[in-house]
Amino acid sequence: MSAIAKTIKVALLQFYAASDKTANLLKAQQLALKAIKKQPDLDLLVLPECFNSPYAVDQFHNYCEKIPEGETTHFLSTFAKEHKVAVIGGSFPELGDDGNVYNTSLTFDNTGKIVAKHRKVHLFDIDIPGKMTFKESATLHAGNKATVFDIDGLGRFGLAICYDIRFPELAMTASRKGAGTIVYPGAFNTVTGPRFWTKFGVARAIDNQTFVILCSPARNPNGGYQAYGHSMVVDPNGDVLVEAGHDEEIVYAELDPEIEKEARRNIPLSTQRRFDIYRDVSKDAVAGAL
């Protein structure tokens, strides 16, 4: 299987997480049910980064859980199976078998089976004088692979998390291994978001002639880390098909395989690259689904 198998109907759930994990899972369930009620033939649900916990370096250990026995994995799997919808479960803190904590995203097919697991590869360690300092590596460990996988009946996907989008090699690898859609649950903040969020979504889409999905948390009116919001879907020509605001909402889009085919046919990048001059990073990449 490769690229997009059919027109995919997708819903992006943009919401913020409180300090109560159970309440966060309940909110995710309520929004997912609302999306399915509005669009009963929905193919794919996408959740935001850190959807079951606050996005805070000093809190990740308090919310982490094992996979697959953790409550978040069980919730996502059960929902996908009961409602026969594929789910890209944003991300949440995972306690690995090695005792380390990872920022991890799981994907489930419409039978509830885990078909992909991505641990955030690039940790968000920045210091912008006078604006913000954040260091994920203080408590999180990094993943070690590019994630490319198939969802039966929908096609091939690439999956990465937030800061990963700044490193185009992951998107290149996914695209050159046949992905027609690349998904980034991400929590850009109100400093970096307005300047970079849309640009990266458009850039990754144009560079790789794929659909790009960005799913963000909403702004939290109760304080704490403030996500930029603006969850969006970008088509292979770089056109933004749908974009949220910064409050809690659901946005819907259709990923049409003909748009992808036309973009690749009209401008045949895949046959014009000069790997006699520069390396094909996808050949060297460590890639997998699980």
The residue that leads in pLDDT, 141 or 2, is 141
127 has a pLDDT exceeding 90: no
Residues forming beta bridges with residue 3, ordered by sequence position: 179
Average pLDDT over residues 222-234: 95
Q: For residue 1, tell me if it sits in a domain.
A: no
Q: What is the pLDDT of residues 51-86, one digit of tens each?
A: 999 998 899 999 999 999 999 999 999 999 999 999
Q: Out of 21, 27, 49, 136, pick the active-site residue.
A: 49
Residue 2 counted as domain residue: no
**In whole angstroms, what is the distance from residue 249 CA to residue 109 CA?**
24
Amino acid at 62: N
The first and second tokens of residue 262, run together, are 């036309």
pLDDT given for residue 175 in this prediction: 97
Whether 50 is catalytic: no
Mark whether 248 is an active-site residue: no
Residue 235 included in any domain: yes
Cβ atoms within 10 Å, residue 48:
28
- pLDDT of 1 higher than 70: no
pLDDT tens readout for residues 93-105: 999 999 999 999 9
Residue 115 forms part of a structural domain: yes
Inform me whether the pLDDT recorded for 131 exceeds 80.
no
Q: Which of 1-5, 68-72, 158-162, 241-245 has the lowest mean pLDDT?
A: 1-5
Position 3 in a domain: no
Mean pLDDT of 90-115: 98
Domain count, the chain: 1
| pLDDT tens digits for range 191-222 | 999 999 999 999 999 999 999 999 999 999 98
Question: What integer pLDDT is reported at residue 210 of this predicted model?
Answer: 98
pLDDT band at residue 132 under the 50/70/90 scheme: confident
* C-alpha gyration radius of the chain: 18
What is the domain extent for residue 107? 8-288
8 Å CB contact between 46 and 88: yes
Q: What is the CATH number of the domain that holds 255?
A: 3.60.110.10
The confidence score (pLDDT) of residue 2 equals: 66
Whether residue 197 contacts residue 214, with contact meaning beta carbons closer than 8 Å, is answered with yes
Enter the tokens of residue 77. 């799997």
Q: Tell me whether residue 74 is in a domain.
A: yes
Percent of the chain at pLDDT > 70 equals 99
Choosing from 21, 27, 117, 120, the catalytic residue is: 120
Q: Is residue 198 part of a domain?
A: yes
- 215 in catalytic set: no
What does the pLDDT look like over 139-163, one tens digit per residue? 999 999 999 999 999 999 999 999 9
Q: Strand 125-128 to strand 44-46: parallel, antiparallel, or no bridges (unpaired)? A: unpaired
The CB-side HSE value for 85 (13 A sphere, CA atoms) comes to 24
What is the predicted pLDDT for the residue at 128? 79
Q: Per-residue pLDDT averaged across 111-137, rounded?
A: 90
Residues of 128-162 as b/e, b for ≥16 C-beta within 10 angstroms?
Answer: eeeeeebebeebbbebebbbbbbbeebbbbbbbbb
- Is the separation of the CB atoms in 14 and 229 below 8 Å? yes
Residue 183 forms part of a structural domain: yes
Q: Which of 162, 215, 243, 248 is catalytic?
A: 162
Which residues, 6 or more positions from 152, have their beta carbon under 8 angstroms from its beta carbon? 1, 109, 110
